[in-house]
Amino acid sequence: MAELRRDIVTGNWVVVGHRTIKSDSVGLCPFCPGNEHLTPKTIREYKDNEGAWLVRCFPASSPIFVIEEELSKRGEGIYDKMNSVGAHELIVESRSHTKILSDFSENEYMLLLDMYQERIHDLKNDKRFKYIQVFKNHGELAGSYIFHPHSHVIATPVMPDKIQLELIHSKNHYLQKERCLFCDIINQEKRLDKRVVSVNASFISICPFASRFPFETWILPRFHDSNFENLKDFRAKQELISILSDVIKRVERLTNAYTIVIHSSPNVHEIDSLNEHRLPVSEHFHWHIEILPRDFKTSKYKREDEFYVTQITPEEAARTLKEEKV
Ligand SMILES: [Zn+2]
Ligand SMILES: [Zn+2]
Ligand SMILES: [Zn+2]
């Protein structure tokens, strides 16, 4: 069984000992309609009028985190470890084995976003989980081993490193300036208009100032909100779909593989005893979606051990993405 160990030098949590179970149904796609028996039992599905599922969610067969276990935190001398209690679910995005996000209709996107939101809400009821990660990989290089388009939902008892860093920086910014860091970024990027890819009434997409990957793009709501899963307004959701589908079409034309990750507020009590500033996360954190291309047809990014190195500036990336005909 996998366990979580904390690197005592950096404070990062690492999952060790996770092994993937090989499927014995070679040649059959376990995610295609008719093969539901090859996956664990459905947690939630949305159906059409004839009763056929359109989007389907079930537990991963080789989960990194497992829901049933008691959370036990232990020490080993000076080190900390705990069992990897949590949840790992997969969402099959449509019945089609080959339909990628570029080909999704507004309604298909709507069902997928609804499923993301519903699963986050549901998993947040379990207070052992500190964070609910939602992400999807597109293309082999981004780590997708089953071709049929699907997303992951992972609930963890510890905060992912990247989110932890974002929370620290957004909190410090707020304490110094009494303004949301992300609202400040949006205002400045909108004003400068050098790294903006697109904008509509409620959302903006930008190539971030210090992009780690060529064509890295973030989509942020232009209104302050810390929780993606609380986005209810139908019109605002349509605007999110419109900007998301447009950006994805452009990214899919320029790259072979990408990861999409939703950064939303963690599952923590608004003000806990460790929060000495009594500053609610909802004040300083601002949800967003990050699209991270992992490969580029002509110039790959490099990871020089500790640094990300890209050959294209975010200003050039934003211009190229904007000019791409979709
Ligand atoms: Zn399939
Ligand atoms: Zn904000
Ligand atoms: Zn982020």
State pTM to two decimals.
0.92
CA of 36 to the centre of ligand 2 (A): 41
Comparing 20-34, 38-52, 100-114, 174-188, the range with the smallest average pLDDT is 20-34
pLDDT at 85 over 60: yes
Q: How far is the CA of 35 from the centre of ligand 1 (A)?
A: 9
3-state SS assignment for residue 124: helix
**pLDDT averaged over every residue in the chain:** 90
Residue 295 has pLDDT above 80, yes or no: no
The Å distance, Cα 263 to ligand 3 centre, comes to 5
| pLDDT score at 40 | 93
Q: What is the pLDDT of residues 205-218, one digit of tens each?
A: 999 999 999 999 99
pLDDT at 147: 84
Ligand nearest to the CA of 56: 1
Least distant ligand from the CA of 182: 2
Residue 240: the pLDDT is 98
How far apart are the CA of 185 and the centre of ligand 2, in A?
A: 9
CATH entry 3.30.428.10 includes domain 176-323: yes
Comparing 185 with 139, the larger pLDDT belongs to 185
Residues of the chain with CATH 3.30.428.10: 3-156, 176-323
Ligand 2 centroid to residue 285 C-alpha, Å: 6
- Residue 166 Cα to ligand 3 midpoint, Å, equals 7
**pLDDT at position 171 over 80:** yes
CA 13 to CA 4: how far, in whole Å? 6
Q: Does domain 3-156 have CATH number 3.30.428.10?
A: yes
Output the pLDDT for position 145.
Answer: 67
Confidence of residue 146 (pLDDT cuts 50, 70, 90): confident
165: CA distance to ligand 3 center in Å? 9
CA distances from 297 to 30, 176, 254, 260, 326 (A): 30, 42, 7, 18, 18
In this predicted structure, the answer to whether residue 157 has a pLDDT above a threshold of 50 is yes
Average confidence (pLDDT) over 226-249: 97
Q: How many CA atoms lie within 13 A of 311 on its CB side?
A: 8
pLDDT higher than threshold 90 for residue 310: no
Ligand closest in space to the Cα of 32: 1
Distance, in Å, from the CA atom of 296 to the CA atom of 298, rounded to the nearest integer, reads 6
